[in-house]
């Protein structure tokens, strides 16, 4: 008879252990969701419900600045959106307007590029005065004297050895 009673005890123990494991896993999810809910409520109370005083002060200062502007913000945005062809009324000199550049510096580089590639027969060769002068590199010691092995560009004297 002893052999007949041992399998039901193992079955009861296994069923009880399995039930306990299922209850513990279920309670873990319950406690985790409770913790998340409480944490989010506390975060809402401490962070999200507090008005951002610095941001509100900055926005108020911007609004005062916009109110004192020579041109209302909405009108300035309309001018920018349409593109400006006439001067802006209320601003001295009509505001900033694009003007064509009269800088010839970039053209010097293009002239040197054409000369290095061999200019076409009809093109005039650039003069020596139009070419930029290349200054020698400053030695690492910090002195402003040029290195003795570098001769200035266009000099007739060879560089010393």
Taking only the tens place, the pLDDT of each residue in 82-134 is 766 666 666 666 666 667 888 888 878 777 776 677 655 555 555 555 555 55
* Whole-number percent of the chain with pLDDT over 90: 29
Tell me whether residue 58 is in a domain: yes
Tell me whether residue 147 is in a domain: no
Residue with tokens 């041109």: 71
Tell me whether residue 111 is in a domain: no
Tell me whether residue 85 is in a domain: yes
Q: In degrees rounded to 5, what are phi and psi of residue 102? A: -115, 20
Tell me whether residue 109 is in a domain: no
Q: What is the pTM of this model?
A: 0.32
CA-only gyration radius of the chain, Å:
42
Total tally of structural domains belonging to the chain: 2
The reply to whether 45 and 56 lie within a common domain is no
Q: Is the pLDDT of residue 138 over 80?
A: no
Look up the domain containing 78 and give its range: 52-89
Average pLDDT along the chain: 75
Distances (CA, A) of 107 to 93, 104, 115, 122: 30, 5, 13, 18
* Whole-number percent of the chain with pLDDT over 70: 57
The reply to whether 20 and 45 lie within a common domain is yes
The reply to whether 45 and 62 lie within a common domain is no
The reply to whether 16 and 45 lie within a common domain is yes
> Which pLDDT does position 159 carry in this prediction?
53
Residue finishing a domain among 40, 65, 89: 89
């Amino acid at each position: 008879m002893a052999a007949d009673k041992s399998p039901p005890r193992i079955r009861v123990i296994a069923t009880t252990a399995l039930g306990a494991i299922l209850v513990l896993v279920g309670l873990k999810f319950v406690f985790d969701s409770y913790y998340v809910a409480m944490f989010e409520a506390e975060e809402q109370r401490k962070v999200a419900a507090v008005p951002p005083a610095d941001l509100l002060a900055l926005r108020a200062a911007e609004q005062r600045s916009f109110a004192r502007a020579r041109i209302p913000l909405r009108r300035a945005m309309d001018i920018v959106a349409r593109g400006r062809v006439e001067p802006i009324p209320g601003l001295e000199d009509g505001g900033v307007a694009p003007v064509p550049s009269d800088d010839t510096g970039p053209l010097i580089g293009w002239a040197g590029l054409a000369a290095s590639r061999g200019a076409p027969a009809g093109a005039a060769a650039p003069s020596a005065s139009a070419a930029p002068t290349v200054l020698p590199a400053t030695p690492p010691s910090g002195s402003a004297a040029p290195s003795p092995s570098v001769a200035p560009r266009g000099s007739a004297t060879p560089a010393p050895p």
